[in-house]
Structure 1
């Protein structure tokens, strides 16, 4: 009995047909598709479904196995379920990593063992090498590079003060307490009181053979100890209570009387109104005789006042147009000052001259601490060399770019200014008052914080609080987060002096002053003796010694690029890995992870698969009974 060809469909219309027939012509194969010598298509195993229709089904000649739900579609590759062994074999066959392919392809066990030992040893050596590299990199060490630059240099800011804070002719504007104190500490008053208290003259030391006894050892009484004055300044160290870290015993000894006189004057001077203090001091119009930068004249309008509790009126010269195109004294700043020495209060101003400070543009000046003393009757040359410092921040160290500080206070950041503002803000918050000696500083802080209005610390409780905070700062108990600036410009200074002016040049300067002063002052100048007149003048030249400047830059000792290069060299040296090989390792790890996830899913669903087997048996029997195939077909095991 032969199988008849269906009139409705051809074999090529069925899924899975590959056109592979043997020992038959094309037309014969189409007419007799179920002959014995017919070969099933390659994907015939999935050519019929359970209903008997051609499509995706199961192969009936194989032993029945129910569909497995151990792995989902994403757990399959090439149509077959994955196993862990297959994942390993696939990685070994495809990887470019050295050693692993030889372990897979070796035929003998000792060859596999040798390559395994070599691979493990290389990986251990690679791990040690990488640990050394990472330890070095994460230390974040720095190295310093010094370079020399050459360019036109911007001139720094200059602040100077006359060492005499109050003119004797203007002292009458002060309070009665200040005037009384100035009369008490006058050298002639001190000398007269000292003369009245002078004991009998002490004999000269006895000559050899003289049996007169020598005076008993002891401290001789100094002339300043004879001053009888009730000091009103209560800022004394004995007011500071004992804290966890007291000062050494040396600092609790007797205080210097000269220092006490100076502090008493500063206290009384700070009690005056700001306008009164400015009027009592030396004005820039009275002191400035000549000002020139690179030969171009500048006048007193270029200066702005900066009051100081120690030196009175200080003046700051800052101009962005001051740029040095050449080095040398002729291309710098030249100042000639008339110090008005006849207005000096000798006890307060023990010397004759001025205090000069060279600092960065728009930085906070502190001439009392950072200034240098320049003597009268001298021409002083101050040669500068600029030094730029660039520091690393972040992981390489602590530095402050100064942006927040400048936005708050309107001045450039320096470590010292940060500490000064920090301590004074702590005094304001803790004590509810500000230091009367830092009035200018308080005004700057007050302008940055709206609504902050406090009074000076003058009561005993407020002064005690103030001194306690300053003591805690000096002993290290109070900390401020003030780091070095990330970018800093410093000026190294070299000073040279010579006698100046000559008598003839001093007379010429007097005539110059007479042209700008009134007749009364001119007559006063002309009555001065030549040596007394010379003591009133001083000249200072500030300039760059050279336009070359040093640039000190911190750089990482171990650059990022070098670190990555060393890692690549280490990995390539020991196991022959490249970036693409690392991608292969990542893919292998992903496949292992995927296998483990599928294995866990299979462990959870395994009991459910066992319960579903009877249902699959019923479906198979129904499928066999429903299938109608020719009884004469004896093909190659399809049915």
Structure 2
């Protein structure tokens, strides 16, 4: 017995205090250990779990996770800032009431989505709007328009009669082609047409047309009389040989001016690289070409005295002796035959220049070209012209079509030294140019308006020349002009600005990203009380809270 007690005493750990709890482990499995009711209950639960073989480790974990997810979902519904969700998670409400509020919340989502889709469709289909810019353009930042003047007389009578009397067959046929409505195919035969190439026709055109020195009798700029040769340059247009004022230098107008097969231009003052989109450079001299207006009124504009020389009229492109005048952008080649205005002699006319300024916000570049329907200069490079405008693009497109069909271009179209200019031998092809122009809409779809454009319009007023005015100019003009000659041949015309500032029309986004988000947030807030914090709240419950709850739950290891 003593040995048995000793064995019992040494086979398990005890404390000296008799009130201490029973030992936590017994070597002698026959000895009964007393436990508390809580310990007995927990252990019995643990044993019952293993006594039920249909429960596995995955069942316990999934059960705990599903209960945790339902708890988190209910807590989110009760505390969410979205309108109506707390009624869905409220236990005190019946299932019918919960479904009612769930249906109401779903309907609000559908309504918000419908209106947001409408806003998005409007944003994508018509994202651009043209508005009046509150900041007007100052007069000194705007160039004086380029002015092209043509005498509608196609040939001087004295030269034409000399050609008809003593000219060779080529000159006679060229003169006939200028003064008749017949197609060149009906005038030129093969042997004569081969001799009438471009070089020959250009010399003929210069000789038979009234030169600028005869047409421009007097030029007054900013109340100071100047040499017309310093202000105007001869230019070949679709109306023939004309005179142009205030165009940009050919080095700034064309990409490769040395390769062009055209007439020479002279500029008495330094040239400026002005463009409608970039304006005048910061270091541009104030007197550089293209010239800027010096003020408002006729005293600070351009005054011209034009001589029609009616006695030399042989054939004209209009029904009466007159001039064709066109105001255009300094970076464009004029299309004066169809767009020029007609002014007859014997009158004094005042042309109030009214610019139309269209610019674009830089943010517009983010919108698709097909939707904004305009091009920035950096988005499309022309072959000949340095500055992109709609008319320059159309001129190049017409020349490209002509070159494709006829292997040549007309004399007034952009060309280089290697491009063949159409002669009369190509009349069978280029006589169909009207068809090419009608088809330009089909073949020149890439020519869109420039996003930044400046065009000029005129408001004209005129009156017959008074006797005193006629006598005054008869004395001032060279060549001993009589009062009768001034009345029958002279046109006095003034070009000027009326205002110091001009309204600008700006193309901009009707809906930017900020406006779209504002409209979307307003609709979501109206329908369901949604805000940015509601989104943060949802993300928190889905990600951060679920992760924290998972890490907070105790890890349990079970055996299969």
User: For the superposition of Structure 1 and Structure 2, which TM-score range results when normalised by the shorter chain?
Assistant: 0.5 to 0.7
- Distance, in Å, in 1 between the alignment partners of 2:125 and 2:177 is 61
Using the alignment, how far apart are the partners of 1:349 and 1:122 within structure 2?
70
Aligned mate of 2:438, from 471, 474, 487? 474
The worse-fitting range, judged by mean Cα deviation, of 331-340 and 347-356 is 347-356
* 1:219 aligned partner: none
Judge conservation of contact 1:423–1:470 (CA < 8 Å) in 2. no
Q: Which residue of 2 aligns with 1:272?
A: 200
Q: 1:386 aligns with which of 351, 355, 364?
A: 355
- Give 2:338's aligned residue: 369
| Aligned partner of residue 244 in structure 2, secondary structure | strand
What secondary structure does 1:320 align onto? coil
The answer as to whether partners of 2:151 and 2:242 remain within 8 angstroms in 1 is: yes
Q: Distance in 2 between matches of 1:126 and 1:183?
A: 75
* Cα distance, 1:234 vs structure 2: 1.1
Select 1:151's aligned residue among 138, 158, 182: 138
Tell me what 1:334 maps to. 303
**Greater Cα offset, 537-546 or 176-185:** 176-185
Maintained 8 Å contact 1:396/1:556: no
Residue 235 of structure 2 is aligned to residue 306 of structure 1: yes
Does the 8 Å CA contact 1:175/1:272 hold for their aligned counterparts? no
Judge which range, 143-152 or 486-495, deviates more. 143-152
CA RMSD of aligned residues (A): 4.9
Cα deviation, residue 407, structure 1: 4.6
Q: Are residues 115 and 529 of structure 1, via their aligned partners in 2, closer, same or farther at CA, if it must alter by over 3 Å? A: closer
Instruction: Indicate how the Cα distance of structure 1 residues 62 and 96 shifts in structure 2: closer, same or farther if over 3 A, else same.
Output: same
Q: How does 1:512-551 map to 2 (within 5 A)?
A: 513=478, 525-526=479-480, 530-532=483-485, 534-551=487-504
Mapping of residues 14-413 of structure 1, within 5 Å: 63=50, 68=57, 85=70, 88-89=73-74, 91-92=76-77, 95-110=80-95, 111-140=97-126, 143-146=129-132, 149=136, 151-152=138-139, 153-171=142-160, 176-177=168-169, 179-180=171-172, 233-234=184-185, 272-299=200-227, 300-318=229-247, 320=289, 322-346=291-315, 351-390=320-359, 394=368, 396-403=371-378, 407-413=382-388
Which whole-Å CA distance do the structure 1 matches of 2:492 and 2:47 have between them?
A: 117
Displacement of 1:329: 0.8
Q: 1:562 to 1:85 in 2, by over 3 A?
A: same
In 1: Cα distance, 2:10 partner to 2:56 partner: 32
Secondary structure of 2:111's counterpart equals helix
Q: Aligned with 1:434: secondary structure?
A: coil
- Residues 185/567 of structure 1: CA separation in 2 closer, same or farther (3 Å cut): closer
Q: CA offset at residue 544 of structure 1?
A: 0.9
Q: CA deviation at 1:577?
A: 1.7
Q: Name the SS of the counterpart of 1:92 in structure 2.
A: helix
SS state of the match for residue 530, structure 2? coil
Residue of structure 2 equivalent to 1:493:
458
Which whole-Å CA distance do the structure 2 matches of 1:276 and 1:500 have between them? Answer: 35
Match of 1:621 in 2: none
In the aligned structure 1, how far is the partner of 2:543 from the partner of 2:430?
Answer: 66
Shift of 1:346: 4.8
Length, aligned pairs only = 465
Q: 1:602: which partner in 2?
A: none
Select which of 393, 397, 408 maps to 1:434.
408
Deviation string, structure 1 residues 42-94 (Cα, Å, up to 9, x no partner)? xx99xxxxxxxxxxxxx8896288985799xxx999x9578764564464356
Q: How far 1:365 sits from its partner (Å)?
A: 0.8
Structure 1 stretches of 5 or more lacking a match? 7-22, 46-58, 188-223, 226-230, 237-259, 514-524, 595-612, 618-639
1:279-306 Cα deviation digits (max 9, x unpaired): 4433333443332321244431332221
TM-aligned CA distance change 1:572 to 1:508, over 3 Å: same
Q: Are the counterparts in 2 of residues 571 and 577 from structure 1 also a CA contact under 8 Å?
A: yes
Shift of 1:327: 1.6
Cα deviation, residue 140, structure 1? 1.9
Cα gap change, 1:38 to 1:541, in 2 (>3 Å): farther
Q: Deviations over 1:168-214 (max 9, x none)?
A: 45555896236536998999xxxxxxxxxxxxxxxxxxxxxxxxxxx
